A = this chain, B = another copy of it.
Amino acid sequence: MTLTLTAFERSPDGGRGLARDMRVRWALEEAGQPHAVRLVSFDALKQPAHLALNPFGQIPTLEDEGLVLFESGAIVLHLAERHAGLLPEAPDARARAISWLFAALNTVEPPILELFAARVLERDQPWAEDRLPLVRDRIRTRLAPLSARLATGEWLDGGFTVGDLMMVSVLLRLRPSGLLDADPSLAAYVARGEARPAYQRAFAAQKAVFDAQASPGA
């Protein structure tokens, strides 16, 4: 079986592991699944060959034999269903872990994506500075209940699951803003995620891609 992932040829995050291929790399490492990575340039993302894998022209995609999947959430859930280590076996605990996976992607990440848009895409707009506090407040509204929950538990619901993998990945995108480290409970949670050997292997693999592309001899 060959699993093939796509990732940015040159990630705009500077090798900090914030692009969405990292979520899939981490899941593959937790599941102990060897895999190939195909790098895609920004230009190639919008070409027919890649659009056949992902109609929105994004990374990551996963090819698993004849199956092609897109959306990091769907790929991570697919891996979690097929390999041990990312979902509990008990049906109720499994369903709750999937609730957290969706919470990361549809409740916590949207305001974080707004902050990215505000800081990067709208950086030169006249409202850029004045608007930032509103966007940051919208994020804090989501972080507060998460922080309270994690004050009493190592992970979101029992042991580490695909829900934690995605929540940690989403929260990591907040680190540059200072909002993550401003909350000791959340900062410690994310640090527990980063300390996992599978995370570290995945991080090193994506960093090696960035370093190879960025080196003068490349």
Distance between A148 CB and nearest chain B CB, rounded to angstroms: 8
Among A99, A117, A130, A142, residue most surrounded by chain B Cβ atoms (within 10 Å): A99
User: A5 in the interface, Cβ–Cβ < 8 Å?
Assistant: no
A to B CB contacts below 8 Å, 18 in the list: A56-B145, A57-B145, A58-B107, A67-B92, A67-B96, A69-B95, A70-B99, A70-B103, A71-B99, A71-B106, A72-B102, A74-B95, A74-B101, A74-B102, A77-B98, A109-B110, A110-B110, A127-B131
- Counting chain B CB atoms within 10 Å of each CB, the highest count among A105, A122, A125, A131 belongs to A105
Q: Which residues of B contact A73 (CB under 8 A)?
A: 102, 105-106
A: residues with CB less than 8 A from B are 51, 55-58, 66-75, 77-78, 92, 95-96, 98-99, 101-103, 105-107, 109-110, 113-114, 117, 121-122, 125-127, 130-131, 134, 138, 142, 145-146, 148-149
Decide if the interface of chain A is mainly helix, strand, loop or mixed: helix
For A122, the chain B residues whose CB sits under 8 A away are 131, 134
Which residues of chain B are within 8 angstroms of A148 by Cβ–Cβ distance? 55
